[in-house]
């Protein structure tokens, strides 16, 4: 398998899609040995087939603001691969959204969903709409308009979107409301739903909880745990707050959270009421990080990232490429032993190289943040069965799934010296299931 040739062909076909090409290269480089050991994959052209989305839809989303002015955004849904189950993956509303970012996320989602062991294919979607600074009614009108188009290609057995950056319970609610009007059906077509109308307990915190469960498993391989450890977290969104809560519950001290314009360092730990305070701010659509620094009298480091802080464990939970090679060197120099990605592809390839060279416990998002989609899968099961599991039941299934993903990564990622390359392990484990399913299904 010639990765450079494959990448050259892909670059020609997808010019300028930097994030997508970055994500594909990472996967291809780690599955070379497996593909070469299994000639049936090359014979069936599995690689060329897996890097091409089944379909990529873009559509116009026109909406009126509170003054009656009409705006146009672009909506997307990338249905990447449904070899092992209905398409599944979040919707992102953020001004940076473009085809490349959604294709990278959709591609990653194929392997992540495969790792969960649940029957879910890979997809992603969203819009360059920015919910920040919009009124509730504006967000509602946008979501309704978005769903007017999206509903044509989704369905509980076809494609089940969820939330992502900029899409939380409120947005899912407005989109689900419109889906119901358009289809006359109350089905599990979206996950991340409110508890009163088909949602699952533990879904809001599942990605963060799952991320910490995964880190806990990695730490165990070195006889370590969260107890007494200093934890640096980036972002303070859906993923970060769950991670902060669980890391604290397990005895860690979370000292940072961040936004796009800087981070705060709280040496006393960010926990309990402090987290509740920020969740209230988030719920009312307000900035979180700066107000925290005023409320609790801690420093706000403008324009900086939290990776310069001394910590034992780093959980990047904000966005792609938010931790580069220089950040990685600082973390290693400061004695960080474990980096567990809560966000999708937050570490650049240079950063990953630094972690692997220094034998840091490093887990890629596709394994370490799979708890969110796994719990979405559990929400789909509950919707199909028309019943609700208790929080304990969902949490214990989530915990079990994260332990199993960790085991799969160890199985395929452990080298002869005992070091686990979780990037390789996750990519191989995720790939094998999907590739074998594609072989079984014909082309």
- CA-CA distances (angstroms) from residue 44 to 40, 53, 129, 434? 6, 17, 40, 13
d(CA 172, CA 160): 12
Chain length of the chain: 443
100 binds ligand NDP per the rule CB under 6 A: no
The stretch among 142-150, 219-227, 232-240, 296-304 that binds ligand NDP (CB under 6 A) is: 232-240
d(CA 410, CA 404): 10
**Residue 47 or 202 with smaller CB distance to ligand NDP:** 202
237 binds ligand NDP per the rule CB under 6 A: yes
Rounded to a whole number of angstroms, the minimum distance from the CB of residue 163 to ligand NDP is 5
Site string for ligand NDP, 338-357 (x = CB under 6 A): ----xxx-------------
d(CA 7, CA 15): 11
Which of 97, 115, 140, 165 is the binder for ligand NDP (CB under 6 A)?
A: 165
124 is catalytic: yes
Q: Looking at residues 250 to 309 of the shown chain, list those that interact with ligand NDP (rule: CB under 6 A).
A: 258-260
361 binds ligand NDP per the rule CB under 6 A: no
Considering the candidates 124, 229, 424, 433, report the single residue annotated as catalytic: 124
163 binds ligand NDP per the rule CB under 6 A: yes
**Residue 224 or 341 with smaller CB distance to ligand NDP:** 341
Rounded to a whole number of angstroms, the minimum distance from the CB of residue 35 to ligand NDP is 27
Which of 164, 217, 224, 266 is the binder for ligand NDP (CB under 6 A)?
A: 164
**Residue 192 or 413 with smaller CB distance to ligand NDP:** 192
* Helix segments in 256-316, DSSP class H: 273-283, 289-295
d(CA 154, CA 19): 25
Which of 319, 408, 421, 427 is the binder for ligand NDP (CB under 6 A)?
A: 319
Which of 122, 166, 252, 425 is the binder for ligand NDP (CB under 6 A)?
A: 166
3-class DSSP assignment, residue 300: strand
d(CA 258, CA 233): 7
* Alpha-carbon torsion angle 71, 125, 169, 94, nearest 10: -50
Spell out the residues 6+ positions from residue 30 whose beta carbon is closer than 8 angstroms to its own: 421, 423, 424, 427, 428
248 binds ligand NDP per the rule CB under 6 A: no
Q: Looking at residues 183 to 212 of the shown chain, list those that interact with ligand NDP (rule: CB under 6 A).
A: 207
**Residue 34 or 162 with smaller CB distance to ligand NDP:** 162
d(CA 288, CA 259): 8
DSSP string spanning 215-266? HHHHHHTTT--STT-EEEE---SHHHHHHHHHHHHTT-EEEEEEETTEEEE-
Which of 106, 372, 425, 430 is the binder for ligand NDP (CB under 6 A)?
A: 372
206 Rama class: left (phi>0) / alpha (psi -120 to 50) / beta: alpha
**Residue 266 or 322 with smaller CB distance to ligand NDP:** 322
Residues found near ligand NDP in the complex (CB under 6 A)? 163-166, 207, 234-240, 258-260, 317-319, 322, 342-344, 369, 372
Residues with a known catalytic role: 124
């Amino acid at each position: 398998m010639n990765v450079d040739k494959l990448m050259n062909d892909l670059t020609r076909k997808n010019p300028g899609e930097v994030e997508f090409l970055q994500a594909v290269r990472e996967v291809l480089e780690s599955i070379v040995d497996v593909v070469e050991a299994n000639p049936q994959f090359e014979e069936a052209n599995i690689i060329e087939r897996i890097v091409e989305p089944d379909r990529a839809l873009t559509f116009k989303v026109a909406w009126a603001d509170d003054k009656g002015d009409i705006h146009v955004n672009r909506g997307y849904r990338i249905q990447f691969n449904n070899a092992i189950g209905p398409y599944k993956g979040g919707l992102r509303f953020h001004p940076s959204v473009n085809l490349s970012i959604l294709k990278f996320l959709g591609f990653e989602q194929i392997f992540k969903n495969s790792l969960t062991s649940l029957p879910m294919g890979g997809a992603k979607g969203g819009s360059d709409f920015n919910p920040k600074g919009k009124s509730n009614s504006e967000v509602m009108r946008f979501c309704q308009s978005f769903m007017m188009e999206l509903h044509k290609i989704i369905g509980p057995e076809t494609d089940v979107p969820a939330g992502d950056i900029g899409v939380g319970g409120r947005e899912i609610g407005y989109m689900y409301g419109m889906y119901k009007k358009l289809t006359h059906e109350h089905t599990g077509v979206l996950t991340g739903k409110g508890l009163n109308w088909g949602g699952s307990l533990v879904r809001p915190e599942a990605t963060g909880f799952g991320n910490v469960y995964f880190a806990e498993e990695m730490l165990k391989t070195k006889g370590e745990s969260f107890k007494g450890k200093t934890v640096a977290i980036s972002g303070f969104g859906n993923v970060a707050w769950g991670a902060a809560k669980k890391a604290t519950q397990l005895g860690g001290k979370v000292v940072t959270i961040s936004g796009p314009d800087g981070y705060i360092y709280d040496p006393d730990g960010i926990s309990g009421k402090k987290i509740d305070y920020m969740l209230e701010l988030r719920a009312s659509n307000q900035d979180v990080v700066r107000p925290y620094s005023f409320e609790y009298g801690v420093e706000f480091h403008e324009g900086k990232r939290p990776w310069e802080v001394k910590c034992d464990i780093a959980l990047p939970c904000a966005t792609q490429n938010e931790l580069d090679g220089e950040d990685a060197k600082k973390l290693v120099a400061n004695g960080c032993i474990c980096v567990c990605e809560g966000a999708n592809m937050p570490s650049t390839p240079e950063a990953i190289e630094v972690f692997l060279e220094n034998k840091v416990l490093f887990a890629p998002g596709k394994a370490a943040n799979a708890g969110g989609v796994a719990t979405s899968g559990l929400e789909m099961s509950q919707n199909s069965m028309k019943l609700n599991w208790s929080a304990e039941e969902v949490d214990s299934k989530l915990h079990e799934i994260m332990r199993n993903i960790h085991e799969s990564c160890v199985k395929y990622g452990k080298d002869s010296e005992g070091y686990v390359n979780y990037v390789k392990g996750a990519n191989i484990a995720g790939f094998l299931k999907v590739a074998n399913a594609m072989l079984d299904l014909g082309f």
